C-alpha cells in the first residue's frame, strides 16, 4: 500500500481510499477512486475488522483469501442488472490481504431500510422478483450464494435491488471446503435447515433464505429469533413460524416457500410466477406441500384448532386424532434435537456480527416422506389439572366470557399471571408459569368450557422484557365490544371470517402488556389494532 499526493492510502498504486462504507465478519468495504479511469468504486478489504481475530484463528487469513478469490470467480461469471459487478481483484505482491474492486452502489442495504420499519408489500414483491432473478442467473451459472440476507441486498437510489457478497458462494466444480469440519458458515438467521443438517444444499436452499428475507422485510421482524442462539435453536426445532399479519398477497407465497423439505419448495421459475401473480392480484395456487405457517400470532395449538388452516394456501388441517409416533421414534427425535444443541455448543459457528443461530429440525418435511407440519400434536393430557367455566353466547370474545376463560385457566394453571393469552371465538390458548417466579411455563387450552394443560411450553429468559409474565385479568376487557365494532369499521377487512385477540408483551409496544385484535378474511386480508392495558388504541394497521 502506498499513499497519494494528498496523503490518502493508495491501493495497487491506483485506488485511493476515500471513506469507509461498512464492515462485517468478512471484511471492510471502502469508497475509493480509481485514479486510472477516474471513477468511484467500492473496494472490499478482505481481512477481519478486528486484528485479534487473525491471532486467535491461525489460518484465518488464508481462508479469507480463498473466499476473496471465490467471490471474484463467482461474480466474474455473472452479468446481471441485479448482481453487483466486479471490476478487478488486487493481490499484493507482499502477500498481504487481497482487495476486490466492485461497482459502487449508491444507496443503502435492505437491512438499513428495515431500521425504519417494515416495507410495503408491493415493494417487497418487487424486491423478491429482483433478487430471485439474480439468484436464478447465479444458479444457471452453477453458483449458490449461501448467504442471502437483508445486509447483502443493496437498494439503488431508484429502489432497484442488487445482490452482493458472494464471498461464501459454492461453485459446482469447487472441490475445496472453506471451513473446518463441523463449522457452519453464513448468517445463521437465514441459513436453510438442510444446510444446518450437514447437507451442502442446492438452489432451493438459497430460495429458503430469500423467503425468510421477504418475511422479515414485510413483517419487520424475524419470526424465529430468540434471546440467545440456543433459544433460537429450540424455537426452530419446536415452534411454528408465526402466521404473517402484514404480508397480504405475499403470505401464500411465503407459505409455499418456507417449508423444510427443499424438494417441496417451488423452483425458481414457479416462484417467479407466484410472485408475479401476487403483484397482479391473482389468487395463489396451492402446491403439493402443506403451508409452512403455524397458527396466527400467539396461537400454538394443534393445527385443526385454527380455521385458517382450511385455506388452500396453508395446506389442509392436521386431523385432531392423528396417531402419535411410537415412543421409540419420539425418543430418537428428542435425542437428535439434543445432539444438535450440544453440537452447536461444541463446534465453531461462523456468523456475521449480530447473527443468531437459526437451525432446523425434522419438521415440515425434514425427511423425504412428505410435508409434516412444524407444530406437533398436543401431548396426552390424562391426569393434568383442568378448570371449567360457564360461558354464554356463541363467542368467547365478550367481557364476561373472557373473564370466565381466564378464571378457568387460573383453576387449571394456578394463576392469572401469564406469558401470553390468545382468545378465539371458539377456543383459547395460554402460556402460564409452572409456579410463581418460575423460569419455565406450560401450555394450556380452553375448549368446550374446559381448560386443561396440553404440555410443557418453554423457558422464560431472564433479562428479556418480552418474557416477563403479567396479570392478564388487569387488561381493559370491558372495552372489548367497542374495540370490535371499531375494527369492523376501520380495519377494512371485507367479510371477516376470523376474529381473535393476542395478549402479550409486544416488542413494537416497548415490551409492555398489549392486546392486539385481529380480523382476517378468506382472502388473507389482515387488519389489527394494538391496544395498551388501559384500553387505548396505540396503533392501527388496516389491511393494505
What's the confidence (pLDDT) of residue 314?
31
Q: Are 387 and 405 in contact (CB under 8 A)?
A: no
pLDDT grade for 243, boundaries at 50, 70 and 90? confident
Per-residue pLDDT reduced to its tens digit, 3-20: 555 556 788 889 999 988
Helix (H) or strand (E) segment spanning residue 418: strand 417-418
Q: Kindly state the cell numbers that stand for 506.
A: 409486544
* Average pLDDT across the chain, whole number: 73
What's the confidence (pLDDT) of residue 537?
95
Residues in the chain: 544
Instruction: Please state at what angle helix 327-346 crosses helix 229-238, rounded to 10 degrees.
Output: 160
Q: Are 344 and 337 in contact (CB under 8 A)?
A: no
- Look at residues 471, 451, 473 and name the one whose alpha carbon lies nearest to residue 400: 473
Q: Kindly state the cell numbers that stand for 221.
A: 421482524
DSSP 3-state of 67: helix
What's the confidence (pLDDT) of residue 55?
59
What's the confidence (pLDDT) of residue 193?
78
pLDDT grade for 446, boundaries at 50, 70 and 90? very high
What's the confidence (pLDDT) of residue 93?
72
What's the confidence (pLDDT) of residue 22?
72
| Of the candidate ranges 14-28, 275-289, 412-426, 487-501, the one whose mean pLDDT is the lowest | 275-289
DSSP 8-state symbol, 198: T
What's the confidence (pLDDT) of residue 313?
31
pLDDT at 285 over 80: no
Angle, vertex CA 542, rays to CA 537 and CA 544, nearest 5: 155
pLDDT grade for 296, boundaries at 50, 70 and 90? very low
Q: Are 432 and 418 in contact (CB under 8 A)?
A: yes
**Of 147, 165, 239, 358, catalytic:** 147
Per-residue pLDDT reduced to its tens digit, 129-177: 999 999 998 888 778 888 899 988 999 988 999 998 775 555 444 433 3
The C-alpha atoms of residue 288 and residue 242 are separated, in whole angstroms, by 21
Whole-model pTM over 0.85 = no
pLDDT grade for 24, boundaries at 50, 70 and 90? low
What's the confidence (pLDDT) of residue 366?
31
* Bigger pLDDT: 394 vs 316: 394
pLDDT grade for 291, boundaries at 50, 70 and 90? low
What's the confidence (pLDDT) of residue 63?
67
Per-residue pLDDT reduced to its tens digit, 171-218: 444 433 344 334 445 566 788 877 766 676 789 989 999 999 999 999
- Look at residues 408, 401, 396 and name the one whose alpha carbon lies nearest to residue 500: 396
Per-residue pLDDT reduced to its tens digit, 412-444: 999 999 999 999 998 899 999 999 988 888 989
Q: 373 φ, ψ to 5°?
A: -60, 160
Q: Are strands 498-506 and 420-424 parallel, antiparallel or unpaired?
A: antiparallel
Question: Is 277 one of the catalytic residues?
Answer: no
- Spell out the residues 6+ positions from residue 129 whose beta carbon is closer than 8 angstroms to its own: 272, 275, 276, 279
DSSP 3-state of 68: helix
pLDDT at 125 over 90: yes
* Bigger pLDDT: 286 vs 109: 109
Amino acid at each position: 500500500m502506498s499513499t497519494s499526493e494528498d496523503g490518502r492510502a493508495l491501493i495497487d498504486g491506483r485506488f485511493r481510499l476515500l471513506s469507509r462504507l461498512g464492515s462485517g465478519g468478512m471484511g471492510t468495504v471502502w469508497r475509493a477512486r480509481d485514479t486510472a479511469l477516474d471513477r468511484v468504486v467500492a473496494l472490499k478489504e478482505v481481512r477481519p475488522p478486528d486484528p485479534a481475530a487473525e491471532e486467535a484463528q491461525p489460518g484465518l487469513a488464508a481462508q479469507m483469501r480463498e473466499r476473496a478469490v471465490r467471490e471474484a470467480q463467482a461474480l466474474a461469471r455473472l452479468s446481471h442488472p441485479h448482481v453487483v459487478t466486479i471490476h478487478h481483484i488486487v493481490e499484493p505482491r507482499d502477500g498481504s490481504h487481497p482487495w476486490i474492486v466492485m461497482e459502487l452502489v449508491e444507496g443503502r442495504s435492505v437491512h438499513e431500510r428495515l431500521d425504519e420499519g417494515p416495507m410495503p408489500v408491493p415493494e417487497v414483491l418487487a424486491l423478491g422478483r429482483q433478487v430471485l432473478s439474480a439468484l436464478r442467473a447465479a444458479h444457471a451459472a452453477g453458483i449458490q450464494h449461501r448467504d442471502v440476507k437483508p445486509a447483502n441486498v443493496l437498494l439503488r437510489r431508484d429502489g432497484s435491488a442488487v445482490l452482493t457478497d458472494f464471498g461464501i458462494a459454492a461453485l459446482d466444480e469447487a472441490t475445496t471446503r472453506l471451513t473446518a469440519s463441523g463449522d457452519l458458515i453464513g448468517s445463521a438467521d437465514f441459513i436453510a435447515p438442510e444446510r444446518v443438517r450437514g447437507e451442502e444444499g442446492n438452489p432451493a436452499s438459497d430460495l429458503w433464505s430469500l423467503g425468510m428475507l421477504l418475511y422479515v422485510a414485510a413483517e419487520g421482524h424475524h419470526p424465529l429469533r430468540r434471546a440467545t442462539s440456543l433459544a433460537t435453536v429450540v424455537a426452530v426445532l419446536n415452534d411454528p413460524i408465526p402466521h404473517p399479519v402484514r404480508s397480504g398477497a405475499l403470505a401464500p407465497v411465503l407459505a409455499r416457500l418456507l417449508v423444510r423439505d427443499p424438494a417441496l419448495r417451488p423452483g425458481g421459475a414457479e416462484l417467479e410466477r407466484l410472485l408475479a401473480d401476487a403483484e397482479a392480484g391473482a389468487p395463489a395456487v396451492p402446491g403439493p406441500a402443506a403451508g409452512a405457517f403455524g397458527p396466527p400470532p400467539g396461537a400454538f395449538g394443534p393445527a385443526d384448532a385454527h380455521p385458517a388452516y382450511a385455506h388452500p394456501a396453508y395446506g389442509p388441517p392436521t386431523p385432531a386424532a392423528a396417531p402419535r409416533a411410537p415412543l421409540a421414534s419420539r425418543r430418537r427425535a428428542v435425542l437428535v434435537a439434543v445432539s444438535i444443541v450440544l453440537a452447536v455448543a461444541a463446534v465453531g459457528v461462523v456468523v456475521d456480527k449480530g447473527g443468531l443461530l437459526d437451525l432446523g429440525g425434522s419438521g415440515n418435511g425434514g425427511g423425504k416422506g412428505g410435508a409434516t407440519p412444524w407444530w406437533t400434536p398436543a401431548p396426552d393430557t390424562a391426569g393434568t389439572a383442568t378448570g371449567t367455566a360457564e360461558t354464554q353466547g356463541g363467542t368467547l370474545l365478550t367481557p364476561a366470557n373472557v373473564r370466565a376463560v381466564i378464571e378457568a385457566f387460573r383453576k387449571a394453571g394456578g394463576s392469572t399471571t401469564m406469558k401470553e393469552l390468545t382468545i378465539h371465538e371458539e377456543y383459547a390458548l395460554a402460556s402460564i408459569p409452572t409456579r410463581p417466579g418460575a423460569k419455565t411455563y406450560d401450555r394450556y387450552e380452553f375448549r368446550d368450557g374446559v381448560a386443561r394443560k396440553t404440555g410443557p411450553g418453554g423457558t422464560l429468559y431472564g433479562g428479556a422484557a418480552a418474557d416477563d409474565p403479567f396479570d392478564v385479568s388487569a387488561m381493559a376487557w370491558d372495552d372489548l365490544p367497542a374495540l370490535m365494532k371499531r375494527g369492523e369499521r376501520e380495519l377494512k377487512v371485507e367479510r371477516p371470517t376470523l376474529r381473535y385477540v393476542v395478549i402479550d408483551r409486544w416488542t413494537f409496544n416497548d415490551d409492555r402488556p398489549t392486546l392486539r385484535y385481529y380480523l382476517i378474511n378468506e382472502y388473507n386480508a389482515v387488519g389489527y389494532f394494538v391496544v395498551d392495558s388501559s384500553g387505548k388504541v396505540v396503533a392501527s394497521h388496516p389491511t393494505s
